[in-house]
């Protein structure tokens, strides 16, 4: 009895292995995320946040809600950001998670962004990992002369979709992270951020790429 049972078990294992191999041929494992660039981005944003934070100010975080639609890159950025702050003895005051349709453009609803800015003081820093929002003239006027400082991650195609220069001129941006042209790199740590991204500040607006014509009309 033992012999046939062992043969049946071995045959079952062979069939199971073949099924797994066939499945991976048609549905291979997704490539593993290289978290280093996203971690470097989070660290750089944390450093700029600490620099801009006023006395007694709070950090108001805007990020993607990844509980429904997973996004390891977004999680790595935010995790690195918060860890870097904590290492400096600073914590996030509030977190606003935005549910996004993965098939739509990344962005913060202008109404939500306005409400966050309206509740903030000029000592606070609003950090958006979903880019900035374009506010209308009425919303801007209600914010007063000293709105909160805003840092926005504007990687990918965001600079083509939003006129970032105009937002800087409207005092709705104090720093923006944009992508550099794609290039291969094996560097790590801070050097990797410098090779993949640029931190644009009010004195560096010439580094901003020109927006698409439709962005100029927003």
Q: Are residues 13 and 70 in the same domain?
A: no
User: CA nearest 47: which of 80, 2, 5, 8?
Assistant: 80
Q: What is the CATH number of the domain that holds 184?
A: 3.40.50.2300
Q: What is the DSSP letter of 202?
A: G
User: CA nearest 52: which of 144, 176, 175?
Assistant: 175
Query: Rounded to two decimals, what is the model's pTM?
Result: 0.80
pLDDT tier for residue 187 given thresholds of 50, 70 and 90: low
**Strand order in 125-128's β-sheet?**
94-98, 59-64, 125-128, 149-153, 175-179, 197-200
State the residue range of the domain holding 19. Answer: 1-30
Q: Measured between alpha carbons, how far is 205 from 211 in angstroms, rounded to an integer?
A: 12
The overall average pLDDT reported for the chain is 83
- Please tell me the predicted confidence (pLDDT) of residue 192: 77
Q: Are residues 144 and 69 in the same domain?
A: yes
Q: What is the pLDDT of residues 84-121, one digit of tens each?
A: 999 999 999 999 999 877 666 678 889 999 999 999 99
Q: Are residues 156 and 170 in the same domain?
A: yes
């Amino acid at each position: 009895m033992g012999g046939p049972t062992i043969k049946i078990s071995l045959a079952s294992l062979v069939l199971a292995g073949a099924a797994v191999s066939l499945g991976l041929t048609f549905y291979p494992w997704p490539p593993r995320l290289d978290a280093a660039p996203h971690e470097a981005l989070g660290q750089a944003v944390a450093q700029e946040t600490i620099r801009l934070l006023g006395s007694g100010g709070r950090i108001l975080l805007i990020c993607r809600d990844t509980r429904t639609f997973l996004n390891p890159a977004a999680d790595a950025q935010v995790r690195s950001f918060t860890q870097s702050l904590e290492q400096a003895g600073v914590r996030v005051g509030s977190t606003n998670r935005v549910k996004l349709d993965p098939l739509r453009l990344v962005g913060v609803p202008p109404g939500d962004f306005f409400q966050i800015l309206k509740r903030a003081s000029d000592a606070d820093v609003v950090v958006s990992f979903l880019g900035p929002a374009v506010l209308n003239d009425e919303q801007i006027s209600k914010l007063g002369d000293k709105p909160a400082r805003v840092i926005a991650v504007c990687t990918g195609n965001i600079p083509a979709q939003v006129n970032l220069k105009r937002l800087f001129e409207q005092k709705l941006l104090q720093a923006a992270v944009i992508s550099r042209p794609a290039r291969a790199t094996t560097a790590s740590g801070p050097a990797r951020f410098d090779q993949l991204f640029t931190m644009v500040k009010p004195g560096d607006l010439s580094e901003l790429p020109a927006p698409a014509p439709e962005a100029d009309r927003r």
